[in-house]
Amino acid sequence: MAGPESEFDLIQRYFGTPSAGAVADGVRLGIGDDAALLAVRSGHELVVTVDTLVEGTHFFPDHPPASAGHKALASNLSDLAAMGAEPLGAVLSLTLPRVDHDWLAGFSHGFLALAEEVGIPLVGGDTNRGPLAISVTVLGEVPVGQALRREGARPGDRLVVSGALGGAACGLAHETQRRAEGGPVDASSPACARLFWPAARLSLGRGLRNRARAAIDISDGLLADLGHLCAASGCGARVDWPSVPRDPLLAEVSEQQARSCALGGGEDYELLFALPPGESLDLLAFSVDVPLTVIGECTEGAGVVVEDANGQRLDVARAGHDHFANTE
Amino acid sequence: MAGPESEFDLIQRYFGTPSAGAVADGVRLGIGDDAALLAVRSGHELVVTVDTLVEGTHFFPDHPPASAGHKALASNLSDLAAMGAEPLGAVLSLTLPRVDHDWLAGFSHGFLALAEEVGIPLVGGDTNRGPLAISVTVLGEVPVGQALRREGARPGDRLVVSGALGGAACGLAHETQRRAEGGPVDASSPACARLFWPAARLSLGRGLRNRARAAIDISDGLLADLGHLCAASGCGARVDWPSVPRDPLLAEVSEQQARSCALGGGEDYELLFALPPGESLDLLAFSVDVPLTVIGECTEGAGVVVEDANGQRLDVARAGHDHFANTE
């Protein structure tokens, strides 16, 4: 490229699209000042969440940069969805080992395409030199008192998940094997698609307001996240393994692997929620754009049990995704 | 430590102090759910800014972890100050190569001590495995229409800075030499103090609302940040070099080095603002807790010139702090 490029120029060049600021009414001041200014609507609370992707942990150098941009935003939007919130704005902090214009072009394309799709403007950015990492903070708003929390589920509530589970874990297993064998990445394969291009269930999250009693997004794995929901709600849960919707990719692996992926695998970014007895699942399913499946129910007591088709308890490790577990 | 520790436990253990959530009225839901919930007061706009510190770029392994915690928050609070905003809440994303409890204890102590001092609760956190980096997003609020922006300065406005300049750059020069020579860090030295423990000028920022026409914090260096303010405002500036308040550390270095540190050095986190002719500096100075100094004025046209005691133009490189300039 022609000459040096400053931090300011990098953000402006790759993320300062006119549309980035014009998408939402709430943006009073976008990229380019000491901070951004946003309007939160009267009668609404502000929702805020942060997520960081690190090269070598969450994605690899031969993965398409657009997928890193997409996923960094999608994982945060999933947290908004789990709160029942509307997107308001995003800020991005990029740490780069060097200025790689091809990478930046791909990354920003993936990030901004999703941002435009869901109508969330990028309102602030920061770039630094160092090992490649992407930190995104997403802001949203939700009517006062209507945010979906992890607490609130009660014994007798149905446990419902959106979409299908285990696809991202299966994709990760494919990728791990592919990298070990040294082959080229096939970004358009179904396995990579699950891992690289997760969707965030924003419209479902909105639809769950005043209906679900508790909700969480499945980022760490079904059993781990169900464990968080139960711990926060002070209840237990029973999961009916045959009811758990499996990603089609799992048809190709053993029953043992399928269980591990669907129950323990992270990064599917589907929603898990507790629906009280009086709420119609059919009515809810009619109004959203993703399949919904009852997988069990909340119970008295504590702890999560998984049962097979005969009602026998399965011995499953609660192996959620945790960057620091068992590694000290 | 006894056994593995999860991401959830790490955040709870080091940052989930009862006081962290209880400090501010605005926190409806803090650490521990998919996202945090905050209330923005009616008649206020939301202010958001992000800053990341990377080990090896912004701090080094032998620097006290408490100083990294302090500085990661202070650099963001400085952006809030430059907008005239009140702190509302902070979210932290920590990327760690391993779980180092001594480091985490020191880091969280430095972070939370400053958070408590200025009354900003930590409302959300995220930990990941990877090269050490600290990303902080700070949220604030400001009465609608009263945010201080970079634009708005007009020819004839006085240019005023808080505190003294060049201390952090001088501290960095000391640290660079110390590291080259292999000596131990002296964290309590005046040089390290400037570099490690910057203050954020929050009360000054609030005092500038409806008084200053434009403001910016000096994070990249006086001339670079003044250049940003002038570019946004569509004006030029004349700086009177003898008037620029110098950090006492600069008494020990050559005039050339002093100029380089005071005009080009970053990370002092003082405020620079444009005060219109009708506003009394004395009245403003009386109400704030930091010295204020007029260093020049805004001019017609564009570009920043620096003059010596005789009104002769000094040839100064506009060497602001930029992680990517001249390095492609």
Element containing residue B300 per DSSP (H, E): none
pLDDT tens digits, A88-135: 999 999 999 999 999 999 999 999 999 999 999 999 988 999 999 999
pLDDT tens digits, A276-318: 999 999 999 998 989 999 999 999 999 999 999 999 999 876 5
Cβ–Cβ contact B102 with A under 8 A: no
Question: Closest partner residue to B124 among A48, A85, A131, by Cβ?
Answer: A48
Q: Are residues A25 and A128 in the same domain?
A: yes
Cβ–Cβ contact A140 with B under 8 A: yes
Q: Which domain holds residue A20?
A: 7-143
Band the pLDDT of A322: cuts 50, 70, 90.
Answer: low
Contacts of B51 in chain A (CB under 8 A): 93, 126
In angstroms, how far apart are the furthest CA atoms of chain B?
69
Rounded to whole angstroms, how far apart are CA atoms A328 and B97? Answer: 11
Nearest chain A alpha carbon to B54: A130
Would you state the structure tokens that stand for residue A133, as one six-digit string?
A: 């990492």
User: Per the annotation, does B125 bind a ligand?
Assistant: yes
The stretch A2-29 carries a mean pLDDT of 64
Domain assignment present for residue B1? The answer is no
Q: What pLDDT is attached to residue A7?
A: 59
Rg (CA), chain A: 20
User: Between chains, do A46 and B328 touch, taking CB under 8 Å as contact?
Assistant: no
User: Per the annotation, does B55 bind a ligand?
Assistant: no
Nearest chain B alpha carbon to A214: B33
Residue B328 has pLDDT above 80, yes or no: no
pLDDT tens digits, A30-59: 888 889 999 999 999 999 999 999 998 888
Question: Closest partner residue to B323 among A82, A129, A131, by Cβ?
Answer: A129
Residue A2 has pLDDT above 60, yes or no: no
Q: What pLDDT is attached to residue A57?
A: 85
Measure the N-to-C terminal CA separation of chain A; round to a whole number of Å.
44
Which of A143, A171, A202 finishes a domain?
A: A143
Rounded to whole angstroms, how far apart are CA atoms A245 and A247? Answer: 7
Domain assignment present for residue B319? The answer is no
Question: Closest partner residue to B48 among A36, A128, A328, by Cβ?
Answer: A36
- Structurally, chain A folds into a number of domains equal to 2
Percentage of chain B with pLDDT > 90? 75
Q: Are residues B130 and B206 in the same domain?
A: no
Would you state the structure tokens that stand for residue A206, as one six-digit string?
A: 């909105």
Output the domain CATH number for residue B231: 3.90.650.10
User: Between chains, do B39 and A32 touch, taking CB under 8 Å as contact?
Assistant: no
Band the pLDDT of A26: cuts 50, 70, 90.
Answer: confident
Which of B108, B143, B178 finishes a domain?
A: B143
Nearest chain A alpha carbon to B38: A46
Burial A61-91 (b: 16+ CB within 10 A, else e): eebbbbbbbbbbbbbbbbbbbbbbbbbbbbb
Q: What is the mean pLDDT of chain B?
A: 90
Contacts of B228 in chain A (CB under 8 A): 8
Q: What pLDDT is attached to residue B32?
A: 83
pLDDT tens digits, B198-257: 999 999 999 999 999 999 999 999 999 999 999 999 999 999 999 999 999 999 999 999
Question: Closest partner residue to B147 among A37, A137, A150, by Cβ?
Answer: A37
Best mutation target among B34, B40, B95, B201 (most A Cβ atoms within 10 Å) is B34
Domain assignment present for residue A20? The answer is yes
Cβ–Cβ contact A71 with B under 8 A: no
Percentage of chain A with pLDDT > 70? 91
Rounded to whole angstroms, how far apart are CA atoms B86 and B98? Answer: 35
Q: What pLDDT is attached to residue B326?
A: 42
Which residue has 């009073």 as its token pair? Answer: A28
Domain assignment present for residue B135? The answer is yes
Contacts of B56 in chain A (CB under 8 A): 130
Rounded to whole angstroms, how far apart are CA atoms B113 and A219? Answer: 32
Residue B17 has pLDDT above 70, yes or no: no
Band the pLDDT of A17: cuts 50, 70, 90.
Answer: low
Which of B102, B118, B143 finishes a domain?
A: B143
Q: Are residues A138 and A162 in the same domain?
A: no
Q: What pLDDT is attached to residue A21?
A: 44
- Name the 3-class secondary structure at A18: helix
pLDDT tens digits, A149-195: 999 999 999 999 999 999 999 999 998 899 899 989 888 899 899 99
Q: Are residues A136 and A224 in the same domain?
A: no
Q: What pLDDT is attached to residue A313?
A: 94
Q: Which of A:247-306 have CB within 8 Å of B?
A: none
Question: Closest partner residue to B52 among A45, A57, A95, by Cβ?
Answer: A95
The stretch A137-158 carries a mean pLDDT of 97
User: Per the annotation, does B157 bind a ligand?
Assistant: no
User: Between chains, do A34 and B216 touch, taking CB under 8 Å as contact?
Assistant: yes
Percentage of chain B with pLDDT > 70? 91
ipTM of the complex model: 0.86
Domain assignment present for residue B320? The answer is no
Rounded to whole angstroms, how far apart are CA atoms A103 and A88? Answer: 27
Q: Is B3 exposed, middle or buried (0-12, 13-18, 19+ CB in 10 A)?
A: exposed
User: Per the annotation, does B49 bind a ligand?
Assistant: yes
Binding-site positions of A: 34, 49, 51, 58, 79, 125-126, 150, 217, 219-220, 267
Q: What pLDDT is attached to residue A8?
A: 55
Q: Are residues A173 and A121 in the same domain?
A: no
Q: Are residues B274 and B133 in the same domain?
A: no
Residue B149 has pLDDT above 60, yes or no: yes
Q: Are residues A266 and A136 in the same domain?
A: no
Contacts of B43 in chain A (CB under 8 A): none
Q: What is the mean pLDDT of chain A?
A: 90
Domain assignment present for residue B139? The answer is yes
User: Between chains, do B91 and A50 touch, taking CB under 8 Å as contact?
Assistant: yes
User: Between chains, do A57 and B140 touch, taking CB under 8 Å as contact?
Assistant: no
Domain assignment present for residue B2? The answer is no
Rounded to whole angstroms, how far apart are CA atoms A181 and A185? Answer: 11
Output the domain CATH number for residue B47: 3.30.1330.10
Rounded to whole angstroms, how far apart are CA atoms B158 and B147? Answer: 19
Cβ–Cβ contact B47 with A under 8 A: yes
Q: Are residues A162 and A131 in the same domain?
A: no
Of the two residues B26 and A281, the one the predictor is more confident about is: A281
Q: Are residues B218 and B286 in the same domain?
A: yes
Best mutation target among B8, B44, B46, B326 (most A Cβ atoms within 10 Å) is B46
Question: DSSP strand E in B30-121: where?
Answer: 36-38, 44-54, 86-96
Best mutation target among A1, A25, A48, A104 (most B Cβ atoms within 10 Å) is A48
Q: Are residues B138 and B163 in the same domain?
A: no
Band the pLDDT of A15: cuts 50, 70, 90.
Answer: confident
Band the pLDDT of A1: cuts 50, 70, 90.
Answer: very low
The stretch B8-13 carries a mean pLDDT of 75
Of the two residues A215 and A62, the one the predictor is more confident about is: A215
Cβ–Cβ contact B127 with A under 8 A: yes
Cβ–Cβ contact B68 with A under 8 A: no
Band the pLDDT of B317: cuts 50, 70, 90.
Answer: low
With the CA atoms of A299, A300, A302 and A303 taken in that order, what torsion angle do they form, in degrees rounded to the nearest 10?
-20
User: Between chains, do A50 and B130 touch, taking CB under 8 Å as contact?
Assistant: no
Domain assignment present for residue A2? The answer is no
Partners of A304 in the beta sheet?
A: A237
Pick the closest to residue A127 from B287, B324, B29 (CA basis).
B324
Band the pLDDT of B304: cuts 50, 70, 90.
Answer: very high
Residue B197 has pLDDT above 80, yes or no: yes
The stretch A245-249 carries a mean pLDDT of 96
User: Per the annotation, does B225 bind a ligand?
Assistant: no
Q: What pLDDT is attached to residue A28?
A: 86
User: Between chains, do B49 and A36 touch, taking CB under 8 Å as contact?
Assistant: yes
Residue B286 has pLDDT above 50, yes or no: yes
Of the two residues A279 and A10, the one the predictor is more confident about is: A279
Contacts of A3 in chain B (CB under 8 A): 328
Q: Are residues A36 and A63 in the same domain?
A: yes
Q: Are residues B184 and B109 in the same domain?
A: no
User: Per the annotation, does B150 bind a ligand?
Assistant: yes
